[in-house]
Amino acid sequence: MKRRTLGRKGPTVSALGLGCMGRSEFYGPSDEGHSPATLDAVLERGIDFLDTADIYGHGANEELLGGFLKDRRHRVTIATKFGILRSADPDARPVDCSPEYVSAACEASMRRLGVETIDLYYLHRRNADVPIEGTVGAMVRLVDEGNVRAIGLCEVAPDTIRRAHATHPVTAIQSEYSLRSRDPEKEVLPLLTELGIGFVPYSPLRRGALTGKLQSADDLPAVDFHRTIPVTHRSALAES
């Protein structure tokens, strides 16, 4: 397995990572009983970069990884995210990236993961009403306290990246990127090269649409997240 260093001084990880969201929800029914075997198989193949978030399964995904990490922590680089809130309403997902919330979110994620330090901690989404400098400043305190090794941002604009990086070096930016989702090429990727920030693409196979397995959105399970994607995106299923 090839390896990559995120940013100029970030962690060195497997070139392929595993997004764990689907282990708990979103892409149809999940079977967490099979997850440990899947994670073991991934690790044995040299993939040691695991990605989760506190909203996946309302925290259940972090707990799932926490059980897996108990005797494997030294072999895995773990990334998780904060900022999107969940409630009893499945369609309500407000964003809280206030400095006051950052520490509490991190503590909850560490508890569920069963770790003393999170390798890469992302702001999952940004609320434009909160200055990014304040959010990043709170994330830096987590670094200073030893709770987080590196910080990242998800789906943010170039100006936000510049402002965040001026506050504290950002290790990685995560955005959707595939042959059908190429927006980062316009401004984000050149900026990350300039600043020395790593790029972590998610859904590189467009959530399965580029594999040939999904032929029509009508064939998806009723609870599949694909059904919530705008029609212009869902059309890629038929066109792939």
Q: What separation in angstroms does the CA of 12 have from each of 6, 58, 77, 214, 234?
A: 6, 29, 9, 33, 34
CA 170 to chain centre: 15
CA distance 50 to 118: 11
**105 φ, ψ to 5°?**
-65, -40
Tokens coding 92: 């309500």
Compute the distance between CA of residue 94 and CA of residue 84 in angstroms, rounded to an integer.
Answer: 6
Q: Which residues contact 183 (CB under 8 A, 6 or more apart)?
A: 175, 177
Of 27, 56, 177, 202, the active-site residue reads 56
φ/ψ of residue 22, rounded to 5:
-65, -10
CA distance 235 to 216: 8
Tell me which residue of 119, 117, 113 sits closest to 171, measured CA to CA. Answer: 119
> Cα-flanking dihedrals φ and ψ of residue 31, to 5°?
-130, 90
Q: Is 56 a catalytic residue?
A: yes
Cβ contact 115:79 at 8 Å: no
Spatial separation of the C-alpha atoms in residues 12 and 198, rounded to whole Å:
11
Write out the catalytic residue numbers: 56
